[in-house]
Structure 1
Amino acid sequence: MDRRIEELVSGSKSFFNIPSIEIEKTISSKKTIPTSLDWRDKGVITPVYNQGTSPKYSTVVAVEAIESFQAIRGGKLEKGSIDQVSDCCENTIDILDCILNKMGGSLCRESDYKSSNITCDRNACQPFAVFNNLKVLKVANEYTMLEWIQDSPLYVGVNAADFGFEIYKSGVYSNPECANGTVDHVLQIVGYGIESGTPYWLCKNSWSSAWGDQGYIRLERGKNTCRIADYVAQVEYRTNDAFPIISYVFTMIYLFADYLGFTTFCKTITIILSFIAFTKPFTFQYLWSGVIVVFGIYLNAHGQNKKSIETYTRFIDNHSLMKFRRQSSNY
């Protein structure tokens, strides 16, 4: 229990003062929701962390959420730098918002980051993970949480001060009194399922694998157990799929306009629209944008060549006509 004493003494409750919200029981999901999910089976969850007496549990879970998100995106599962986040952000429940706005949503590997004298040095190492948007649940809704977790694990606040929570070993924890306390801890929801007819959330804690069920706890789902639905966040990388298509259409219009002779203005707009389509990190939009640029160069060169041929043809025609007139005047 030393770690809980350290957390409480550190004043975590002062910044985890979240008003209790009545849970919303509606769903308008178009996604197919399977009866169970465990992101561990997909190899995108790092081993259980042992925070010891450190109160930086928000930092730990935030880094774990980003690690899993990056692995799901197609990257390799790697350990992110907790120290990097600690150097930039306070250990508050909305720490992911700080990572997004102060660190640019980027995270370095644990092995790459070295603390410097510069406070929050964003150039200290090369990031391996990045996100550009943070979704935060506005109304406590465990049905929406089911929809979100299909994309990646969730970062959630909970009331972990309940004695039954602290000594948890196995099964589905469902003490209704746990919902009455203060949100004073965070967990990573890595899945869900049903055990003996009781739906649950599968949550990863940061109290070492010796705690709970090998570092995990199953909290009853659908009853806002331990206020698990009061603060829910998820990182994502958002792209506007419609915008590149629109930019491609306008680019093609300007390219053909250039081909028809409207040169300078069209070249400028073509370059701007082509490179607006580029996004970070690398996506196939790079290739499409590159194709458009190359095609534009071809059309421009072809147009210039066509103009040169027309000029040469007019010169030959005029020269021939003048020669014919001189010959005709001799007769």
Structure 2
Amino acid sequence: MKYSICLLVLLVLITNVLGKGDKEQENGKDNQKGKGDKEWNEFTEKYGKKYKSKLEEMTRRSIFEKNLKRINFHNRRPDVLYKQKLNQFADLDEIEKNYFKGALLEGNITNDAAKYGQKSLLRSLPTNFDLRSSPCMPQIHNQGSCGSCWAFSATSMLDYYNCKKTGSFTDLGEQHMVDCNHYDKGCNGGFYTRAWRWVTENSGQCSETTYPYNSGSTSVTGSCKNCSVSGTCSGYKWVFADSTSIMNILTTIGPVSAALHANDNFMAYDTGIYSESGCSTKVNHAVNIVGYGESNGIPYWIVRNSWGSWWGDNGYILIKRGDNVCRIEDYIAYPTV
């Protein structure tokens, strides 16, 4: 009898412990699910995400959760120099992400960059140099879901150098370049040197006011329209692919266009100095280098992007200098006006 009572008490204790463990495990799953729901809901609300069906929402959420896991893992690493964050790209598949890039290397561009690049002699350079606040530097624009990064990179430089020459700033229209430049492929890609060649032959480029940008929302190249040109271009120059030559050009002439490979880590950039060893050797995105600096002994480029001011550090990214990260130092050029 005494033995039976002891056994009964023991069974009750075991049942309570197991029940408590199951409840805690279930609560943990609920909390984890609740956390995922919270982040997903915040993401869809912040970026105005609307989906056509429950199936599409499930697909998008699956992509989002993979990116969330990847970003959290990256941000926990003690050996990285930069942080990542969730942004508007977090629910896009690989094909859709390509719509936001668009640099296409064709013809003799690779040979031209090596053959004609200006190599600067060593001279005393400032430790930090930053053109972001220059009155001739245009505001950050957003190319949207059109592979027109090349047009934004090219036009930003024409904005700057025409302003520097005339003393008056005119915001030139990327849409004019996307629609009318027969050397490139509109929303299907292009390159800034070919774009400058077209502007030179066209005797100028129309302003944003007279030829506003809309391909970012339509994802298609528009029909070429006539307009009165504002900014001009007389050609372009390559810069030799080494950091000293690029720094010399930045400090003596001005900002430059550059191309790199933009992968998922680049697209999720938040703050810090971007350094990446897993890039493809093929460039797919055009940007601008507008300065350089050093932080805690680590040199970096100040790089202007065309994904809106919400992306990265108010539309900019710091990229480690001197290591040719993702080929950022290979295809440096600027327009002449």
Q: Fold-level match, TM-score > 0.5?
A: yes
Matches of 1:114 and 1:177, distance apart in 2: 37
CA-atom RMSD in angstroms: 3.2
Residue pair 2:100, 2:144 contacting (<8 A) in 1 also: no
Deviations 1:54-99, CA, capped at 9 Å, x for gaps: 2111111211111011122243222111121112222412333433
| Residue 98 (structure 2) pairs with residue 8 (structure 1) | yes
Partner of 1:131: 233
- The alpha carbon displacement at 1:166 in A equals 1.5
| Residue 299 (structure 2) pairs with residue 199 (structure 1) | yes
SS in 1 for 2:133: helix
Consecutive unaligned residues in structure 1, runs of 5 or more = 238-331
Consecutive unaligned residues in structure 2, runs of 5 or more = 1-88, 214-222
- The alpha carbon displacement at 1:177 in A equals 2.6
Deviations 1:174-223, CA, capped at 9 Å, x for gaps: 12333x43200011111111111111110111111111111110000111
| Residue 326 (structure 2) pairs with residue 226 (structure 1) | yes
- The alpha carbon displacement at 1:102 in A equals 3.2
Q: Higher relative contact order at CA 8 Å, sep ≥6: structure 1 or structure 2?
A: 2
Of all paired residues, the percent bearing the same amino acid is 27
- The alpha carbon displacement at 1:43 in A equals 1.8
Partner of 2:267: 166
Partner of 1:95: 194
From 174, 177, 183, the equivalent of 1:82 is: 174
Mapping 1:136-285, distance limit 5 Å: 136-137=238-239, 139-150=240-251, 151-161=253-263, 163-178=264-279, 180-237=280-337
Residue pair 1:157, 1:228 contacting (<8 A) in 2 also: yes
Matches of 1:189 and 1:109, distance apart in 2: 23
| Residue 160 (structure 2) pairs with residue 68 (structure 1) | yes
Matches of 1:3 and 1:50, distance apart in 2: 20
Count matched residues: 226
Residue pair 2:100, 2:143 contacting (<8 A) in 1 also: no
SS in 2 for 1:149: helix
| Residue 154 (structure 2) pairs with residue 51 (structure 1) | no
Deviations 1:234-259, CA, capped at 9 Å, x for gaps: 0123xxxxxxxxxxxxxxxxxxxxxx
Partner of 1:39: 131
SS in 1 for 2:292: strand
Q: CA separation of 1:10/1:73 partners in 2, compared to 1, >3 Å: closer, same or farther?
A: closer
Q: CA separation of 1:83/1:233 partners in 2, compared to 1, >3 Å: closer, same or farther?
A: same
The structure with the larger Rg is 1
Q: CA separation of 1:183/1:114 partners in 2, compared to 1, >3 Å: closer, same or farther?
A: closer
Matches of 1:73 and 1:13, distance apart in 2: 28
Matches of 2:106 and 2:97, distance apart in 1: 12
Deviations 1:20-56, CA, capped at 9 Å, x for gaps: 999xxx9642765222111122222112112221211
- The alpha carbon displacement at 1:131 in A equals 2.4
